[in-house]
């Protein structure tokens, strides 16, 4: 066991990776503190003049306005990550997030913050994330040896999950005091992340073959389409989480179904990340080596079942348990997908492939919030969550038939740099 621990912790002997990991943890902490505050603020403002269903729809719109710029820019961002200095892109994008958090903090001082302005800043936040997702995914593997890459992926996932656990909890506490204070704390996290990224030295510029941006984008798309294991993995995650995600419904459940207030909302928002963090910690010491496709398919089934339990629960502890299981299952899927994208993909294409993968992830998250809002408007919040859980299970069965290569995927092979 001691040898296994030592092997797992070897990634932090790479000082630049340790700084990158710290910066990503801090920026994720800031992002989820901000996201929780944003969702709660929009819902509470909307409830002053709108019904539960209409307010749920407006919370879903927050996800949509973040997704649209991300969708429009992701392919260009991926090409940029394979063309220019990745550290500088990450720095510039994090500084933009810092500006958004500072702006939202100022806006929140108003007694009646205009939702239109809040949505505009949320869209700008989506621009920053469009560049952060592929750049961070492509930069991390440059900072460790290829042999330690699977463990670096697990530790990166653990850092992300840590931010996802603490961010909602912190945001739930702070927005109960002041939305402006919560946004200001998020801005502080981004500032610390910038300091960590600035301290990274060395060559973080990828090898560029001189191709044009459009040629690079076509090459990346062709690679994903031809690799059915990678395409099947990222598309399964897209459709399953797009249907089954309940993030946008958590303010509704906290406010009107479970009646647990902002503190309970922060607790619920932390539930998936608690399960995800525990699973990421386990995977950092005992990563999946065999039957990767089977693990991923069953993980999505468990994700759907947990979503169904959450949908019908009226008890806070049962709802929390369902969200913890949901988060743990999601991290198994994330680990396998990231391993396929980062380990199998050559470094000169990691930005573009990660951009498509990130766009799919964001579609499943931000666009999933919009889908949940629309479904809640038509079916009510409980009907929306039920439909999502059932849909996730159905999609898994369909994908197992459509992508036999994914179902039969065994080892997560390493490729050369």
Domains and CATH numbers, the chain: 12-200+211-408 (1.20.1250.20)
Confidence (pLDDT) at 416: 42
Number of H helices and E strands in the chain, helices first, is: 16, 0
Which portions of the chain are predicted below pLDDT 70? 1-8, 111, 161, 208-213, 241, 244, 340-344, 346-348, 350, 358-371, 373, 410-417
Confidence (pLDDT) at 306: 94
User: Is residue 289 within 8 Å of 412, Cβ to Cβ?
Assistant: yes
Confidence (pLDDT) at 24: 92
CA angle at 39 for the pair 277 and 396, rounded to the nearest 5°: 50
Confidence (pLDDT) at 415: 43
Q: How many CA atoms lie within 13 A of 238 on its CB side?
A: 14
Confidence (pLDDT) at 3: 43
Whole-structure pTM value? 0.70
Confidence (pLDDT) at 417: 41
Q: Crossing angle for the helix pair 15-47 and 115-139, nearest 10 degrees?
A: 160
Sign of CA dihedral 124, 129, 135, 136: positive
Q: How far, in Å, CA of 101 to CA of 116, rounded?
A: 16
Distances (CA, A) of 255 to 47, 266, 370, 383: 10, 11, 19, 17
CA angle at 185 for the pair 184 and 189, rounded to the nearest 5°: 115
413 by DSSP, 3-state: which?
A: coil
Q: How far, in Å, CA of 148 to CA of 237, rounded?
A: 25
Confidence (pLDDT) at 4: 46
Q: Tell me: the pLDDT tens digits for 180-203?
A: 899 999 999 999 999 999 998 877
Q: Going by C-beta distance under 8 Å and a sequence separation of 6 or more, which residues neighbour residue 54?
A: 46, 377
Q: How far, in Å, CA of 358 to CA of 364, rounded?
A: 10
Confidence (pLDDT) at 6: 47
Q: Tell me: the pLDDT tens digits for 364-398?
A: 665 666 667 677 777 888 888 888 889 889 988 99
Q: How far, in Å, CA of 356 to CA of 261, rounded?
A: 37
Extract the tokens encoding 144.
Answer: 């460790």
Considering only CA atoms, which of 91, 101, 121 is closest in space to residue 187?
A: 101
Confidence (pLDDT) at 16: 87
Confidence (pLDDT) at 211: 65
Q: Going by C-beta distance under 8 Å and a sequence separation of 6 or more, which residues neighbour residue 315?
A: none
């Amino acid at each position: 066991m001691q040898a296994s621990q030592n092997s797992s912790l070897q990634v932090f002997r790479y000082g630049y990776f340790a700084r990158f990991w710290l910066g990503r943890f801090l920026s994720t902490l800031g992002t989820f503190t901000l996201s929780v505050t944003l969702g709660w603020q929009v819902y509470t403002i909307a409830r002053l003049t709108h019904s539960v269903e209409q307010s749920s729809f407006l919370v879903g719109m927050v996800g949509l306005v973040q997704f649209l710029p991300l969708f429009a820019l992701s392919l260009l961002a991926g090409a940029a990550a394979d063309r220019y200095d990745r550290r500088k892109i990450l720095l510039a994008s994090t500084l933009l997030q810092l500006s958004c958090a500072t702006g939202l903090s100022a806006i929140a001082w108003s007694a009646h913050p205009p939702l239109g302005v809040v949505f505009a800043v949320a869209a700008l936040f989506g621009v920053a994330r469009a560049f952060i997702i592929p750049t961070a995914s492509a930069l991390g593997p440059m900072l460790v040896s290829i042999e330690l890459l699977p463990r670096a992926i697990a530790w990166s996932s653990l850092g992300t999950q840590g931010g996802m656990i603490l961010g909602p909890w912190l945001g739930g506490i702070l927005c109960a005091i002041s939305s402006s204070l919560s946004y200001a704390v998020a801005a502080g996290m981004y500032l610390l992340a910038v300091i960590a990224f600035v301290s990274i030295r060395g060559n973080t510029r990828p090898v560029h073959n001189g191709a044009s941006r459009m040629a690079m984008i076509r090459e990346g798309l062709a690679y994903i389409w031809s690799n059915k294991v990678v395409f099947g993995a990222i598309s399964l995650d897209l459709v399953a989480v797009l249907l089954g995600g309940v993030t946008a419904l958590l303010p509704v459940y906290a406010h009107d179904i479970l009646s647990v207030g902002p503190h309970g909302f922060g607790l619920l928002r932390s539930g998936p990340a608690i399960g995800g963090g525990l699973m990421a910690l386990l995977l950092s010491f005992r990563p999946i080596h065999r039957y990767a496709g089977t693990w991923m398919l069953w993980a999505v089934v468990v994700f759907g079942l947990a979503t169904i339990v959450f949908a019908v629960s009226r008890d806070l502890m049962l709802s929390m348990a369902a969200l913890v299981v949901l988060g743990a299952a999601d991290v198994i899927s994330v680990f396998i997908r990231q391993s396929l994208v980062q380990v199998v993909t050559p470094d000169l294409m990691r930005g573009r492939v990660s951009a498509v993968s990130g766009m799919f992830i964001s579609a499943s998250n931000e666009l999933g919030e919009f889908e949940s809002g629309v479904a809640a408007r038509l079916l009510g919040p409980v009907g929306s969550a039920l439909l999502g859980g059932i849909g996730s299970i159905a999609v898994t069965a369909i994908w197992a038939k459509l992508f036999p290569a994914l179902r039969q995927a065994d080892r997560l092979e390493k490729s050369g740099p």
